[in-house]
Amino acid sequence: MENKFFIITFGLTGSGKSFVAKILNKVIKNSILIQSDRVRKEMSGFSPHKKVIVPFGKGIYSQKKSEEVYKEMLKRAEKILKEGKSCIIDASFLKKKWRKRAKEIADKLSVKFLIIAPFADEEKIKKRLLKRKKDVSDGRWEIYIRQREFHNKIDEEEKKYTVFVDNNKGKGEVEKFLRNTLKLKTLNEQKTSGSNPQIKTLNGA
Ligand SMILES: Nc1ncnc2c1ncn2[C@@H]1O[C@H](COP(=O)(O)OP(=O)(O)O)[C@@H](O)[C@H]1O
Ligand SMILES: [Mg+2]
């Protein structure tokens, strides 16, 4: 995939953001992956794999810390994009404010912007979270429950550049879907008139 993208993920803990972000990083040539879990720990002086289990919104997961983490990630992303690379940010982006900032950067630099939003059934998420062990994430079921209450949904405007990914499926299918999506986004961009009906239909799905 040669085109330049700025992609952010969106979703509750366990929805599969890191899973899809890694696939995107592999599929998009010359792309750099920024992971909020790593940046957060790095900024607090922890090693990435240190488990930091604190109640929702406390410690390194406080509002204040999160603000700092998002600012830092967007700063890094802007630098990466200016260097001519693609960038993927693996973070929850539950606040619209940060999604908006990311979109502004993409627009300013004329880079294709996408919100990739994986979703899965709650039972599946619960099972996957219980199985998740050696991982940089501290996300767990009780965090999922709280995040479900406190997040800004993708609005109608954002839906124009959001791709919802059915992450109930296995890796092969998810990867295939993502590859096709990126291909279509690239093609659509090249077709200024959008006159190819096939592309139009698939893209609108
Ligand atoms: N499509 C999938 N198939 C199999 N396992 C998955 C899939 N998506 C996610 N997982 C696993 O579920 C757990 C949660 O996914 P993860 O990507 O870490 O979620 P998030 O980053 O949104 O918190 C991880 O252990 C991950 O490897
Ligand atoms: Mg994650």
- pTM value? 0.91
Mutating to test ligand 1, I would choose from 119, 128, 175 the residue with most ligand atoms within 8 A of its C-beta, which is 128
Condensed to tens digits (0 to 9), the pLDDT of residues 161-188 reads: 999 999 999 999 999 999 999 988 877 7
* Cβ-based neighbour number of residue 122 at 10 Å: 13
What does the pLDDT look like over 22-49, one tens digit per residue? 999 999 999 999 999 999 999 999 998 8
Out of 3.10.270.10, 3.30.56.10, 3.30.360.10, 3.40.50.300, which CATH number does the structure's domain 5-169 have? 3.40.50.300
User: Could you tell me if the CB of 41 is within 6 A of ligand 1?
Assistant: no
Q: Could you tell me if the CB of 34 is within 6 A of ligand 1?
A: no
> What is the C-alpha separation between 34 and 77, in angstroms, rounded?
8
Q: Is 87 helix (H, G, I), strand (E, B) or coil?
A: strand
Largest CA distance in the chain: 52
Give me 13's structure tokens: 């803990």
Which pLDDT score is estimated for 191? 62
Verify whether ligand 1 is closer than 6 Å to residue 170 (CB atom). Answer: yes
Query: How far apart are the C-alpha atoms of 147 and 177, rounded to whole Å?
Result: 26
Cα–Cα distance for residue pair 133/18, rounded to 1 Å: 14
